[in-house]
Amino acid sequence: MSTELPVLTKKDFQSDQEVRWCPGCGDYAILSCVQTIFPQLGIPKEKFVVVSGIGCSSRFPYYMDTYGFHGIHGRAPAIASGLKATRPDLEVWIATGDGDAMSIGGNHLIHTLRRNMDVKILMFNNRIYGLTKGQYSPTSELGKVTKSTPVGSVDYPFNPLSLALGAGATFVARGVDIMQPHLRDLLTRAHAHTGSAFVEIYQNCNIFNDKAFEYMSAKQVRADQTVEVLHGEPLVFGKEKDKGIRLKGTALEVIHFADGHGPEDCLVWDETDPNPALAFMMAQLGPPDFPTPIGVMRNVALPSYDYGLVHQLEEEIESKGSGKLEDLIYSGELWTVGEGGQVTRGKAVADPG
């Protein structure tokens, strides 16, 4: 094994394929972010695999100069699971959309999270079906007018963070396409986590759902409309850092420091809390009464599925020895038919014919 890894750069992760997203699409920013952090992770380039489903966002692997798998709609977590379970040495990332992950692939998503498979899931949430040209998605807000809901949708959306937390995900975070340094930090931390990491990324689809996240990501409002969740820090937000979130009874509430409160009254975030209840409450926050939380909601250590699987194999081999095919085939109640047709029990010493 070589001790020194070649120095990798962003360019090493750019494939020769022409990027075909609409100009202005938020996917570009996410791609750039991933291409920036991959070379910094200290992993040989050939160990990366990016797996995706179907959707605009799922074109992602084609633009990464790594091993890549553009799967079928919704099934990326399942494909990635089979890969990671047999090849724990690989660094497996998933690019998926809100429709891909939460609609057709909802089943695979929750089970992958529940198993704590060591894969990193980037869910590009544009609250719309981009590739199929603009139908509402499972994260579109109630009443959304789209091609398939001309007078507004009547079904309630998923909150992706809540769904992931409910599925038992061990790493749950939210970032925004245009908040690059923050997103880079999140993705680096997702990598450092052992087990499933679920990162919801608010992504603008400027063609079918433009400005969907303007209410919280626009420069003028961002500081007041978001709260960055930081481990060990009080939940303080606002342009002037003059507001915070505290726990009152069984509910969260916004407090204004102008009213005599201070950071010491705010909830101090503990992302490692084994009880996901507070994270679940945080995930619910958002307009009109609350800022939108971003950052790492949950980060707890638990052995991953792939580790468990490999470990079982190793333990069995360790305690019983590596299986011998001959023993497997020649097991059970054997009898031997000799050249003359005589039958004896077991495997006769002189193995005939």
Partner 1 sequence: MSPETKAKSASANRLEPVDEVVVRFAGDSGDGMQLTGTQFTSTSALLGNDLATLPEFPAEIRAPQGTLAGVSAFQVRIADYDIHTPGDAPDCLVAMNPAALKKSIGDLKQNGVLIVNTDEFHDRNLKKAGYETNPLDDGSLAAYRVTQAEITTMTHRALEEMDLDSKAKNRSRNMFALGMVYYLFSRPLDTTVEWLELKFAKRPEIAEANVKVLKAGWNFCEITDQFQVRYEVEPAKLAPGVYRNIMGNSALSIGLVAASRRSGLPLFLGSYPITPASEILHELAGYKTFGVSTFQAEDEIAAMAAAIGAAFGGALAVTSTSGPGLALKSEAINLAIMTELPVIICNIQRGGPSTGLPTMTEQSDLLQAMFGRNGESPLPVIAASSPADCFDTAIEAARLAVSYMVPVILLSDGYIANGSEPWRLPKIEDLPDLRVDFRTDPEGFEPYMRDEKTLARPWAIPGTPGLEHRVGGLEKENVTGNVSYDPANHQLMTDLRAEKVARIADEIPPMSIDGPDEGKLLVLGWGSTKGAITGGAQKARAEGLEVSCAHLRYINPFPSDLGDVLSRFEHVLIPEMNMGQLALLIRARYLREVVSMTKVQGKPFFRSEIQAKIHEILGAENVH
Ligand X SMILES: Cc1ncc(C[n+]2csc(CCOP(=O)(O)OP(=O)(O)O)c2C)c(N)n1
Region binding ligand X by CB under 6 A among candidate stretches 123-131, 151-159, 163-171, 331-339: 123-131
Contacts (CB under 6 A) with ligand X, residues 54-73: 54-57, 73
Nearer to partner 1, 154 or 350 (CB): 350
Q: Which residues inside 27-56 make contact with ligand SF4, applying CB under 6 A?
A: 27, 56
* Stretch touching ligand SF4 by CB under 6 A, among 19-27, 30-38, 228-236, 246-254: 19-27
* Strands 251-256, 48-52: pairing kind: unpaired
Residue 39 near ligand X by CB under 6 A: no
Of the candidate spans 113-121, 126-134, 178-186, 271-279, the one that interacts with Mg ion by CB under 5 A turns out to be: 126-134
Per-residue CA distances from 208 to 136, 199, 211 (Å):
10, 22, 10
Secondary structure class of 247 (helix, strand, coil): strand
Q: Which CB, 20 or 248, lies closer to ligand SF4? A: 20
Task: Tell me the C-alpha distance between 245 and 257, whole Å.
Answer: 11
Question: Among residues 56 and 266, whose Cβ is nearest to ligand SF4?
Answer: 56
Residue 177 touches ligand SF4, criterion: CB under 6 A: no
CA atoms of 179 and 184, how far apart (whole Å): 9
What is the secondary structure of 75-109 as a DSSP string?
-HHHHHHHHHHH-TTSEEEEEEEHHIIIIITHHHH
List the strands of the sheet with 243-248, edge to edge: 236-237, 243-248, 251-256
Residue 139 or 304: which CB sits closer to ligand X? 139
Q: Which of 280, 23, 54, 276 has the alpha carbon at shortest distance from 159?
A: 280
The footprint of ligand SF4 (CB under 6 A) covers 21-22, 25, 27, 56, 126, 130, 205-208
The footprint of ligand X (CB under 6 A) covers 54-57, 73, 97-100, 124, 126, 128-132, 137
